[in-house]
Structure 1
């Protein structure tokens, strides 16, 4: 099965769930893709669901209650199976119908919302799993294509001006406000789009991680289109 992802060394491609969870990250590889061409009409599921807020969590029972066509039913089976695989693995997957995420407009010199390139951090050994079934998909870039925003001199200066505590507390200030998780891509970097239907596993910053965490961002949503996203 051919895949459309360039081989920069960052992305490993697998073709079943067992390979997805059992393949180790190594060297520059901090993103794994279970590459899939899914059957089913996922847009039908989106049109049958009700958006209660900008982000509405969808539960298995919500999917089961939907009256769907044969193609819609195939899409539902895929989603329910993905939820079961991840749950049986010990993860806590969430299926979200999404209009948009909240924007961070507090500071004009640094953004800490999910539309900004960032890494995930966890105190325990874990990874981020995600799959976009419908709508715009997330992007990733390799770690050598970006700079941590807190290392950019003009941003660092403004953060120091913002900080009211002692210099010894400054590092904790950066972590508590998630400033240290966000990255600025270098000029002319072309992100890799994760596409629709593929189940991804991204490396997270945690004490036992052997590779650099994967830098990623949420996409700007397509006008008038909701996203259907599995994430954990």
Structure 2
């Protein structure tokens, strides 16, 4: 069973972009949702874009040259406006047409790809913004419903076997290969799906952050369906 925005202490819902970017994270709240019911045909845009690789970055120019119906035009205007809003506040948004991300299957006891629950880290003060316009949407989990994978004894022992350096360098090794960013859901975990059309701001692990970073994961894509995702 999945949570809804209204019953989650992790999320606050706002009604304007200004509130999205200016509301402070606090307490257990590390995700802010600009809740929207978007008009327009985003599938038409997906169908008319060309997938070059499994992940194709779509430029503003790519969007502008599309010949679209009235509903497709509405969808394009929303995307262009979101890109402009984020750019104006200093972010660097990227619009991606996604078939799938690369899977990390090198180790059979731990995964470090984006399908694994993880947090984002940055050396500077920043947040993660994302909006799924079409396709499957990401999930988040409260921090008390996950366990850091490197603290799970059997995983930690295998990582120690993998580490070939001094014991004093082990923690640095975990950070260097991003093992410390990944989390295992507890048995009673209740994911919250971010849904379509909502613009989200998620807390990132950085030196000035006052709350725990938001634990999230990319969804498993549906066969034959591409995702259209704005992220920065």
TM-score range, shorter chain: over 0.9
- Correspondence for 1:192: 192
TM-aligned CA deviation for residue 8 of structure 1: 2.5
Secondary structure of 1:196's counterpart equals coil
Distance in 1 (alpha carbons) for counterparts of 2:61 and 2:89: 20
Secondary structure of 1:155's counterpart equals helix
TM-aligned CA deviation for residue 6 of structure 1: 3.7
TM-aligned CA deviation for residue 182 of structure 1: 0.1
- Correspondence for 2:112: 112
- Correspondence for 1:24: 24
- Correspondence for 1:55: 55
Secondary structure of 1:229's counterpart equals strand
Distance in 1 (alpha carbons) for counterparts of 2:189 and 2:205: 23
Distance in 1 (alpha carbons) for counterparts of 2:219 and 2:36: 20
> Paired residues, what number?
229
Matches within 5 A, 1:18-167: 18-167=18-167
Give the aligned CA root-mean-square deviation in angstroms: 0.6
Distance in 2 (alpha carbons) for counterparts of 1:120 and 1:15: 25
Secondary structure of 2:5's counterpart equals coil
Secondary structure of 1:180's counterpart equals helix
Unaligned regions of 5+ residues in structure 2, if any? none
- Correspondence for 2:225: 225
TM-aligned CA deviation for residue 86 of structure 1: 0.4
Secondary structure of 2:52's counterpart equals coil
- Correspondence for 1:15: 15
1:158-217 CA deviation, whole Å, 9 max, x = no partner? 000100000111111000100000000000322000000000000000000000000000
Secondary structure of 1:103's counterpart equals coil
TM-score (norm 1): 0.98
TM-score (norm 2): 0.98
Secondary structure of 1:56's counterpart equals strand
Distance in 2 (alpha carbons) for counterparts of 1:172 and 1:58: 36
Distance in 2 (alpha carbons) for counterparts of 1:6 and 1:31: 12
Task: Provide runs of 4+ in structure 1 moved above 4 Å.
Answer: none
- Correspondence for 1:207: 207
TM-aligned CA deviation for residue 5 of structure 1: 1.5
Distance in 1 (alpha carbons) for counterparts of 2:7 and 2:86: 26
